[in-house]
Amino acid sequence: MAVMRADGPHRKSWLQPGASRLAVILALLGAWEIAARLYVDRDFLSPPSIVLVSLGDVLGTPGVPEALGLTLYELTIAFVLSVIIGLTVGLVIGLGRFAHRSFMPIVLLLYGMPQITILPIIILLFGIGAPSKIAFGVSHGVFPITIAVAAGVQNLKAVLLVSARSMGASRWQIFRYVVFPQMVPSFFAGMRLGMTGVLLGVLLAELYVSTAGIGYFTGIFTQNLDSAKLLGLVSILAAMAIVLNEIVRRAEVHYSRWRA
């Protein structure tokens, strides 16, 4: 018996890791529920059961569904723009040796900048509506995609190019059948990072603007000490972020599996 229970990779656990993970999450929610009901002032932290019930109220608050829809729209547009710009710039920088050496440091420099510092200026320039949020989302999303695309076409094996050329492939054919497939995995990895960036940028700008959109409602709920509604709204946005991340991650797994 003692031998059977010895540590090691062969030990069978009584629960699958996924099931234990679920149990951990449920235990945390349970602890939160108990703590919120017994020890914490309801104005500041609501138990999850009440948050769940209040989700209907949150969505019933006039203006909230529109604000959520607008945020989803901003996220989509910002992501599409980031992909288009990132792909174009990444290809230009990645395919030319000289362009890569000259402009990659500038892209890395911009990527390393704390973009949050320019948020107030973006709002002043583009106003409190959707354009400022899209612009700020793009400023976060475009750099990881650019860098990933440039890196993806950089690692191209010279043998592949030479053999394609020796078999008489045209420029377009080389791009379509050699460069593009090579680039796909890092492109999707970049898109995943880009999505994380776009989510951060758009949501930062949404929270910053306190006179319209999501930021207006988080402000109102905070001032009214309506912690259930605040948590509900934040949870809906977090769920939105999880779904969008998951879509991009699935796409990445799907399109990179041929390499494995």
Using CB under 8 A as the binding rule, whether residue 68 contacts another protein is answered as no
31 binds another protein, rule: CB under 8 A: no
For another protein, which residue of 26, 225, 247, 253 counts as binding (CB under 8 A)?
A: 225
Binding of residue 145 to another protein (CB under 8 A): no
Q: Which of 32, 103, 216, 255 binds another protein (CB under 8 A)?
A: 103
Q: At what angle do helices 180-208 and 119-126 cross, to 10 degrees?
A: 80
Nearer to another protein, 83 or 209 (CB): 209
- Please choose, out of 12-20, 52-60, 143-151, 157-165, the segment that lies near another protein by the rule CB under 8 A: 12-20
* Site pattern 177..196 for another protein (x: CB under 8 A): -------------------x
CA distances from 219 to 40, 64, 73, 206 (A): 21, 13, 21, 11
Residue 173, helix vs strand vs coil: helix
Task: Give residue for tokens 């109102």.
Answer: 220
Please list every residue from 202 through 221 that binds another protein, using CB under 8 A. Answer: 203-204, 207-208, 218-219, 221
Question: Per CB under 8 A, does 199 bind another protein?
Answer: yes
Contacts of 230 (CB under 8 A, 6+ apart): 218, 221, 222
Q: Which stretch binds another protein (CB under 8 A): 15-23, 56-64, 127-135, 179-187?
A: 15-23
Q: Does 56 bind another protein (CB under 8 A)?
A: no
Residue 106 binds another protein (CB under 8 A): yes
Does 67 participate in binding another protein (rule CB under 8 A)?
Answer: no
Among 27, 65, 88, 102, binds another protein (CB under 8 A): 102
The tokens of 164 are what? 């394609």
Alpha-carbon span 186 to 184, nearest angstrom: 6
CB 153 within 8 A of CB 179: yes
As a whole number of angstroms, the distance between CA 222 and CA 30 comes to 24
To the nearest whole angstrom, how small is the minimum distance from the Cβ of residue 169 to another protein?
A: 27
Give CA–CA dist 200/55, Å, rounded. 23
Contact 68, 236 (CB under 8 A): yes
Whole-number Å distance between alpha carbons of 3 and 15: 20
Residues 90 and 145: beta-carbon distance below 8 Å: yes
Using CB under 8 A as the binding criterion, the count of chain residues that bind another protein stands at: 49
Return residues touching another protein (CB under 8 A).
9, 13, 17, 20-21, 24-25, 44-45, 97-98, 101-103, 105-106, 112-114, 116-121, 123-125, 196, 199-200, 203-204, 207-208, 218-219, 221-222, 225, 227, 230-231, 234, 237-238, 241-242, 245
